[in-house]
Structure 1
């Protein structure tokens, strides 16, 4: 346990025990966690985003691995963002979809889609066995202002269906894209990219400055899509600065 003073805010911080890295299977990771019993967590959350923290369930954490600094917090400056040609094609391709923002409460339909997604994207990794209780522990928070962006439209068979859910936290600092899952049979739609584009539109409609995307890792295939968004900023531990095209995140020793 350690204390931290950031912008005159006193915090109690805990370091997790070593656990398997969720990004590099052969590596071990550790996290820095803000005291989960702190009654100020909802008010601290916008500050935490600005310090590179992320929410998982009721925890605010950021990676703190002794031999690796590969995880770089990133966010999009909503006002400066301009979609590129590929993203404009994504919007056009998905013009037949509709989306709505609802309160974060799990439904059977959402859980079924989530389990199909994990079975296709994370086979044999443990997440593919997630139950309803695991869903709630991972995506929902007792103190966070969490919303679900439900995306609906024709599925691979032409039936109207729930195609994607973007789990999103709303704060005064911006929106935080917690997790997005989608129908793996609709992969050609690039629903992950589409969800970010709609979250950006949502943030702009509320005049929120940033969309937080979690962590980017140079050289990691599953993180490469984040580099495709303009006005991307990275946090170096002290400041948020534009992430130029030739930026390389630090790699483990």
Structure 2
């Protein structure tokens, strides 16, 4: 007899206020990512517009709104704009060390600074050190933590640095690309454009891994919080008939 693994069970959340569009309510469909099939299931669900949070894969299932659109960058075709090249030059003194996802007190301190400066009223504002550790560690897929620091005097020899942490990205490596799960950075260094820099660095890393896509999560037209994602082109959007190339021209 052939034993067939149990199919995932999907659940639907109750309506709650939308964090992106005023006056709208969101609902999500979700399932658990557990066991030996977690990575394969995440690959399949991500291609279908799901995102990961800890051991949960979810996607919007709103009754009256379809504003959330899954976005992925075509990394082999990507060319940075002039402003992006300036960001790369500004941050040439930084490097990112990618390792297994393990939390630290230094990361959490930066995480709290970021939330207090950028998302003081958001849903993550009350997260404790334990909550943060769970966000980082609670994964049964190939999850990496990239820590960005300034290159120290011994960097050319050791490839490491003891400089203060500038930014952190929690990312998944999948069969067809990388997916940026969550990132945060020093809020007092706005001139570095560290959010943009981390996406550019992930495009480079995804290309070096020989993978075609960098998944950025959802773009919400009309939401200022999400507008930055549209700058990284060419990109594809998940529409009713599947992934389609987005035609709008990137702005510099």
Q: What range is the shorter-chain TM-score in?
A: 0.7 to 0.9
Q: 1:38 offset after TM fit, Å?
A: 6.8
Matching residue of 1:56 = 53
Matching residue of 1:146 = 143
Is residue 74–residue 213 contact of structure 2 (8 Å, CA) maintained in 1?
Answer: yes
Matching residue of 1:73 = 70
4+ runs deviating over 4 angstroms: 35-39
Matching residue of 2:197 = 194
Rate the CA distance shift 1:52–1:237 in 2: closer, same or farther, 3 A: farther
CA distance in 2, matches of 1:140, 1:62: 21
Question: Please, what is the CA RMSD of the aligned residues?
Answer: 2.1
CA distance in 2, matches of 1:64, 1:164: 32
Q: 1:139 offset after TM fit, Å?
A: 4.1
Matching residue of 1:164 = 167
Q: 1:246 offset after TM fit, Å?
A: 7.1
CA distance in 2, matches of 1:179, 1:53: 14
Is residue 56–residue 139 contact of structure 1 (8 Å, CA) maintained in 2?
Answer: no
SS at match of 1:92: helix
Q: Deviations over 1:188-221 (max 9, x none)?
A: 1000110011111111111011000000011211
Is residue 103–residue 148 contact of structure 1 (8 Å, CA) maintained in 2?
Answer: yes
Rate the CA distance shift 1:15–1:237 in 2: closer, same or farther, 3 A: farther
| Structure 1 spans left out of the alignment, 5+ residues | 1-8, 248-253
Is residue 49–residue 59 contact of structure 2 (8 Å, CA) maintained in 1?
Answer: yes
Q: 1:57 offset after TM fit, Å?
A: 1.1
CA distance in 2, matches of 1:96, 1:68: 43
CA distance in 2, matches of 1:233, 1:142: 27
CA distance in 2, matches of 1:104, 1:25: 35
Alignment of 1:5-154 (within 5 A): 11-24=8-21, 26-36=23-33, 40-153=37-150
Q: 1:185 offset after TM fit, Å?
A: 0.4
Is residue 139–residue 178 contact of structure 1 (8 Å, CA) maintained in 2?
Answer: no
Q: TM-score, normalization: structure 1?
A: 0.86
Q: 1:99 offset after TM fit, Å?
A: 1.2
